[in-house]
Each structure stands twice: as C-alpha cells, then as structure tokens.
A and B are shown apart, each in its own frame.
Chain A
Amino acid sequence: MRATPVSILEGDTFVVSDRRGDISISPEEAQGLFDGDTRFLSRWVLTVNGELPNSLSTDDINYFSSQFFLVPGTGTIYVDAPMSIVRQRAVGGGFHEDLKVTNHKAKPVDLDIRIEADADFADLFQVKDADFKRAGKFYKRVEGNRLVLGYQREKFVRETWITSSVPAEIDEKGFAFRVHLEPHAEWHAGLDVLAAVDGTDGAKRKPKYADVHDTPTPNVGMSLQRWMASAPQMHSSWTDLERIYERSLIDLAALRFFSRYTPGEALPAAGLPWFMALFGRDSIFTSFQALPFVPELASTTIRVLAMRQGTRVDDFRDEEPGKILHEARLGEMTAFEERPHSPYFGSADATPLFLVLMDELERWSGRHELIKKFEAEARAALRWIDEYGDRDGDGYVEYERRNKAAGTIENQCWKDSWDSIVFSDGSLAKAPIATCEIQGYVYDAKRRCARLAREFWGDSELANQLEKEATELKQKFNRDFWIPEKQFFALALDGQKRKVDSLTSNLGHLLWSGIVDKDKAEACANHLVGPHLFSGWGVRTMADNEGGYNPIGYHVGTVWPFDNSFVAEGLRNYGFKKEAARIALANLEAARYFQYRLPEAFAGYSRAETNFPVEYPTACSPQAWSAGASLLFLRTFLGLEPIGDRLLVDPAVPKQIEWIELLGIPGRWGRADAFGRGLVDV
C-alpha cells in the first residue's frame, strides 16, 4: 500500500511530496510544486552521502507548511542514527525550505548533501492524464547563486528560480553542499523556490513565507487568526463537532485564492489537488453553505462570476450570452487553446445557481447595492435560461456539449462524470439531457429573482412574469418528472424525453429548491433515508438497488458530504427535521474518520457492513464544498433562517449531541446567537 502523500497549499500554489519531503514523478502519484495549473518542480530529492534518508515523522504545521524528520539508514532495522535531518517547508508563490542537519555523535563528520531539482512545467491536465508530449523547449542555466529551470513555447515562458542562503556548488542538476560538522553541531540552509511566470518574478522576489512558523495570512485580507475570530464562535458538548468546525473554517481560508482572472478578488478554489482553480458551481455552492459564517465568500463569488459572464456564442468554450462559467484554468494547454478553459462554460446549472446565491446573499446580509449593481448580469442570466438553456423550447433547461474534444464535459450538471445519468437498468441516457435538479434550481432562481425585481429593480412586470413562469414550471415538472409507480422523481429526461428512472440523491436538491409538490415530499423524504439511498454514513448518490450503482463509482453510489448538506437542508425546508438531523449527524460522524475533514466523497458501502466510512481513492481533500458541508449541517441543526431583519432559530439537534451554541452569527441584524439542545431522536 502506498504511503499517503503530503500536501500543503496556499491559494493556487501547492506542493505534493512523499513522506520524506521529496518530489519525483511516478505513475502512481502526481507529485510536484504547482502554481497556476503548471508544475514548476517535478523533481526535488534530498540525499546525504548519496543516500535517501528515511522518514521518522511528518507533521503539517499549518495548511501552508509541513516538516519532515529524517534519519540516514535503510530503515529496515532501526539502530540509533548518528544524525538527524529536519526539512521545514512553507508554500506560497513557490516555497521556502529550511534544511537542518544535526550531528549527534562525539566525532566530527563530513557530509555530501545534495538537492536534485528538475521541472517538467507540465500543465495540470497533462499531469492528470499522464500525457507529457511537449511543444516547447526546456533550458537550464546557473546565474550566480541561482539555478534557473525554464520552458519556452513561443512567448509562453515558465521558469523556476532556486537560490540557497548558504554557499553551494550549483550545476544544472541541483545544489551540492560540502558540510563539515563538529560533534553535536548543526548545519542550516534555506532554499527558496520561486515560480516565475513569463520569465519574470512579477512582484514576487521571495516565496510568501520565509519560515514555517510565520503568521498564516490566507488570501482574505486578514490573518488566519482574524479570519477565525470573525466567524461565529461554535461550542458544543460534542467536542468532535468543534474540531470539524475549526477544520472547515481553516480549509475555507486556505482554499481562497486570487485568480489571475480576478486580481483583488479572493474566492474559493474547488479542491486539492486537481481543482485548485475557479469553478462556478463549486464557488456558488460553497458560498451558499458559508453564508451564515463567512459571508464575504458570496459577495466575491458573485462579483467574479458576473465579471466573467458569457457574452457571445462560442462553440469551443460552450459559451453563450448570460451563461455563468464552469471552470477557468491557466496552464499551457488552456493558453494555446488545446483546452477550452479560458474560461470553459460547460455547466448548465451554474447560471440559475448564480441567481439563487444573489438572492440568498441579500436575504442574509441586506447588501442590496450588489443586487442593484449586478442587475444587468442577473437579467442576462435569466435570458440565458430561456433562450439558450432551454434548447428545444419545452420549458426545461437541457444540456448537450457543443465541443466534444478531450477534457470537455458530457454531463453538465454537478454529477458530471460520463456515466452519472443512467436508467435503472444501467443503460446510459443520451443527450440532450434535462436533469431534475437543474429544473429545481431554475424554479428557485425565478422565484427569487421575482423578489429582487420587485424590491430592488423596480420592475413589477418582470416580477409577475417570473412568478408566473415559476408556478407553471413547478406544475409541469411535478407532472413530467414524477414516476408514480416508483414514487420518486426521474433523475432526468433524456434526448427522447424519456424518464431516466434511477433513484438518486437528486431528490434532496429538489426539496432544497422548493419545486416539489407538498403531496410528493414525504415519499421523497422516505427514499432519502430509506435503506437503498442511506448508507448509515450519508445519502448515496445512487440507490444500491439500481443497475448503475457502484459503491466506489464517482457519482453512482459514493456519498458526497456536499450533496448531503443540501439534501438535509432540503428536508428541513419541507419540515422533515428528524430526517435532516439524521443525515447531518451521520456525515459529521464520518468526518471523525477523516481527521475531522469531510472529503470530497467516500464509498457508499453500508455502515453496518464496514463500521467505518471507506475512502474514495482519488477524492480531493480538502475540498471547498465539503468544508462548507459541515457549516450547512450546522445551519440545518439550528434551523437558521433570515426573516426580514431578524434571524429565526428553530433547532432540531439530535439527542446524540447534548447542545450546540453558535455565537455571533453575522447578518443584516448585526450579530446574533443561536442555541440548540439535543432533543431529536434520530
């Protein structure tokens, strides 16, 4: 079994290394120093007298720093080591590494310490696909005390600049230090590795942190300490919940970054390692989850997505006027239009969700100036729903990608893997596909925008029209998507308007959107906590008795905490407090097995079968909307809802948690407190 890699991050810069702190390319592991979707180091290997040291221990000091305790030797049978080696690393714009070697013996020692360095400047897409064909040229040079590793394709230049704080022999392969250590003496060296874009350092002369013990300053315009202090204080009789809460807030701070598309506007990246980029859907969901806790996320998300809203019909990028982007990347393949991510618009749900978030932000914060400022963008998004989203005029938003090249997305909904939309017999649905939850989001967006139009845009005609359209959509949806013999809503309508009849967690999103007729809600709730969807750790993406079910299938059987948080909130919205609390508690209990950090997804095996939640092999961790899930679960437990200028608190806390206290919830009321006692028998 391979050792868990060590990952540290700061914005869109991150390092993945082995347990020694070394970086090397292997088919199994995507290691490296990554910045702006490019790998700036693909080799970083420490040897002492020609040997790789062994790892004794590895610690994450902070989200951006780690330390590695090493000793020489084979490590097969431990004998007292004659020396110890400590590497401390802090990432940000590159990384800084402190190397300390201590001689524990009574005799002096001479050492040949080497750091081998190399960079393949691979685009993250190439790393992911293990495809390393390159169109440009590599070069290396030594400039005084600096080693420069470079790559150039036309005017596209990426360089890695490496310097040492102590004299070294530098060649194109790395750094060599001849070290003489007296008995019990120490030797130190500091190494700076800078990711230089276009062959310049920009404003960066040094990596962000010069020491692993520096004060963390995430991209939030404040220190981590202040960021944590600005969020509500959470106390609970269940101390695990406090740890999960703290972990979530730190992860959300760590995942914020300044995209080069949006300087000055920090917003959450989706997740480490593959999704350290701007994603429309992920940013929106995360911002929604975090609104009662760190409302700044929602306003930056709206501003950034509005700024990059689609303006034209562009088949390559799946762009249309008014559409909200799916994903923005910065690597070589995107720059040379070998991938369409500049940005790519391949999601059909981000646009209505953008509108939902706008309204939700105003409800919580009272920030109506944003609603007025982005009226034109909101109207453009509404037009997209009707003019482009509804491709065939049947009243539903459906998707079919126009760019079918590699790396584009077939299923443009949150379950975006190729096999996620399947019939009960396991056969694939064919495009154009109208998934059920997107219709729910559209319903919710129109209802919410009716309020915005009436209260802030002074357009009662639009408000009336949107309300009429939302009402008609709800009626039509409850007729066309409902499967009476199965008592649940179809996952989707396929290209031939057939009901895709698999039972899935999407029912919860429908409840969250409010599109479900009251007389159908109980059946949905029963399915969501029933034996086929509920694993004991959470709601599976697909029921275990479906033809497409796979407990370790990305969107066809795993449990996604983010998904569950909206399922629970949806149940709560329809009055199913007990069921909501049960799902929230199960997920939070699972977090204890993941170092109090909910991963992107975990396997759908039954709790009774495994007793612990089984990891999903390539799950991102941390991931923004999983960090946000625990926040939304807290909102669900406490029943937090803005009503005008007041905060309604209506707790439904499970008995397993004696009490929860949330102090200083920010909103249009200033700050408010909430308390919930565990009275619900789940």
Chain B
Amino acid sequence: MPTAHEVFQLHRLQKFEPLLKGVRGTYLFEIERVGYWFISVRDGAISIEEVRRDADCTIGCDEADFIDIIEGRRNLITASMQGRVKIRGDITLAQKFHGLVSAMIESKKREAA
C-alpha cells in the first residue's frame, strides 16, 4: 500500500486533469501525523504543494483512511458520515473530491498501462 507522500508525489507532476474541468477551489489535506498538502484546482489545472495553508475546503483523516479513499476502497461521503473524515469549509468542493479521486485512479491506471 502506498503512503500519502507517495500518492501526492505521484500526482505532483500532473498539471491538468480533464475530469476536474469546471471545478475551481483549494483543498487542504490534513493527514494525521503525516503532513499537510495544499491542492489548487482551477478548471482542471492542478497544483499540489506540501504546505499548510488556508483553503476553501479542509479534509482531515488518518493515512490509512486516506489511502483507502484514494484507492477507491472507501467512499468519501460515508467515511465522513462515519466520522473517519472531517470536512470543514466548502462541502460542495469535498463532493467534487469524488471527481479528484476518480482522476487520480484513472491517472494511476494510465501510468500502469
């Protein structure tokens, strides 16, 4: 299983994701005892920085849940309902995170191919 560092490192080089076209906003991922990642999405253009910064939407969870969500084994909405993920700020953006997850999974599949 990858680590959160590896996941973000993998996607740091990606500059554009068509699945996120129409999404504009910033996310801060707070991965417990691991670190903070700030992601800016502007109509499909993505930038990822390992830094703690105010964002439109903050998503906090432990590393195992984060990886489960990223790899599609756990649903963000139900994870949030279970108390595994804490979402603050713009929840609409968090819901768009589904798209981000799909994008990451698709990207991973493309790389593997």
Contacts and interface: CB of A to CB of B under 8 A. Distances in A.
Interface of A: 154-157, 198, 260-263, 307-308, 311-312, 330, 334-337, 342, 376
A157 B83 contact: yes
Given A311-B99, A311-B102, A261 B91 contact: yes
A263 B75 CA distance: 19
Interface string B49-85: 0000000000000000000000000010110011110
A262 B91 CA distance: 7
A607 to B, nearest CB: 47
Nearest to B81: A335
B92 A312 contact: no
The 8 closest A-B pairs by CB, nearest first: A335-B81, A155-B83, A335-B82, A156-B82, A198-B83, A156-B83, A342-B78, A342-B77
B72 to A, nearest CB: 10
A345 to B, nearest CB: 13
A376 B20 CA distance: 13
A330 B99 CA distance: 22
B22 interface: yes
B98 interface: yes
Nearest to A336: B82
B82 A261 contact: no
If over half of A's interface residues share one DSSP class (helix, strand or loop), that class is named, otherwise mixed; here it is: loop
A312 B99 CA distance: 10
24 contacts: A154-B82, A154-B83, A154-B84, A155-B82, A155-B83, A156-B82, A156-B83, A157-B83, A198-B83, A261-B91, A262-B92, A307-B92, A311-B98, A334-B78, A334-B81, A335-B78, A335-B81, A335-B82, A336-B78, A336-B82, A342-B75, A342-B77, A342-B78, A342-B81
Contact of B95 (A154, A261, A312, A330): A261
Interface string B86-100: 000001100100110
Contacts of A307: 92, 95
Q: What is the predominant secondary structure among interface residues of chain B facing chain A?
A: helix
Interface residues of B, number: 14
Interface centre among A262, A312, A342 (most CB of B within 10 A): A342
Interface of B: 22, 75, 77-78, 81-84, 91-92, 95, 98-99, 102
A262 B77 CA distance: 12
Nearest to B61: A155
A263 B78 contact: no
Contacts of A330: 81
Given A261-B91, A263-B91, A312 B102 contact: yes
Given A156-B83, A262-B91, 9 more contacts: A154-B84, A155-B84, A156-B81, A262-B92, A307-B95, A311-B98, A334-B81, A335-B81, A337-B78
Contacts of B83: 154-157, 198
Contacts of A198: 83
A135 to B, nearest CB: 12
B5 to A, nearest CB: 23
Contacts of A157: 83
B78 A308 contact: no
A334 B82 CA distance: 9
Q: Report which residue of B77, B82, B102 has the largest number of chain A beta carbons within 10 angstroms of its beta carbon.
A: B82
A157 B82 CA distance: 8
A342 B84 CA distance: 15
Nearest to A153: B82
A335 B78 CA distance: 5
A336 B81 CA distance: 8
Contacts of B99: 311
B64 to A, nearest CB: 12
A154 B64 CA distance: 14
A376 B22 contact: yes
A555 to B, nearest CB: 30
B70 to A, nearest CB: 16
Contacts of B22: 376
Nearest to B65: A155
Contacts of A262: 91-92
